[in-house]
Amino acid sequence: MADIFGDFVEKDKKDKEFLEIGFSPTSIPLQQRWRNNGLSADFLSDYLSSFFPGDDSASAERREEIKSAVSYIANELLENAMKFNYAPSEYPISVGMHLDQDKVRFYVTNSIDPDAVAAFQNLIKRLLAEDANELYMQTLIKNEEDKNSGSRLGYLTMINDYGARLGWKFEPYHDDPKVMKLTTLVQLPI
């Protein structure tokens, strides 16, 4: 049984334009993965920008805005997936980017520590229930007071700066129901 939060929509099997990449989270140390995350995010943004041709300055400016947003969102999602992946499960991490007429959908899937599910779902509920701008300011203040608290600004930045809609799906893996699979969806209007 899946638990769904936010604006989660399943991948449409009829999608015509999409790109999916898979990673083995344990093949190299996490610190070496950070560079690969940035390269992967930039690759996704470069790939997507090819769908926005145009030679005038307005088109070029819009294409650069979209590239920047895609790169930021993809990098944040990959970093979260790598950082919070449940390594003992050895399940791959995947990122998919699906292009619609008016939005880009990012699907990132990773395993999550079964003991961390409840705390993360509580964070999601708070994110969905409270004003994103106010939460952003509270988080900035908390981060300034406690340098070890972790940023926790990624999702809020996606919402506040890029108008993104987020959703999450928690479900057990079929072959190992004790391990939870987390799919995070970010929908970016274009």
Return the closest-CA partner of residue 70 out of 30, 40, 92.
40
* Residue 160 belongs to domain with CATH number: 3.30.565
Structure confidence by residue, pLDDT tens digits, 65-87: 999 999 999 999 999 998 899 98
Rounded to whole angstroms, the Cα distance separating 72 from 70 reads 5
Instruction: Please check whether residue 143 lies inside any domain of the structure.
Output: yes
* pLDDT on residue 24: 83
* pLDDT on residue 15: 83
| Number of domains composing the chain | 1
Integer angstrom CA distances of residue 6 from 27, 37, 121, 128 = 32, 25, 11, 7
Three-state secondary structure call for residue 187: strand
Instruction: Please check whether residue 82 lies inside any domain of the structure.
Output: yes
Instruction: Please check whether residue 52 lies inside any domain of the structure.
Output: yes
* pLDDT on residue 9: 95
Instruction: Report mean pLDDT in 10-residue bins for the chain, 190 residues.
Output: 95 87 76 75 88 76 90 94 90 93 94 94 95 92 78 91 97 92 96
Query: Strand ranges (DSSP E) for the chain?
Result: 3-6, 18-23, 93-99, 103-112, 165-173, 176-189
Instruction: Please check whether residue 13 lies inside any domain of the structure.
Output: no
What domain range is 116 assigned to? Answer: 3-8+18-189
| CA dihedral for 151, 129, 99, 169, sign (positive or negative) | positive
DSSP letter at 24 equals -
* pLDDT on residue 169: 98
* pLDDT on residue 172: 95
pTM here?
0.91
Instruction: Please check whether residue 42 lies inside any domain of the structure.
Output: yes
Which residues are CB-contacts of 57 (< 8 A; sequence separation ≥ 6)? Answer: none
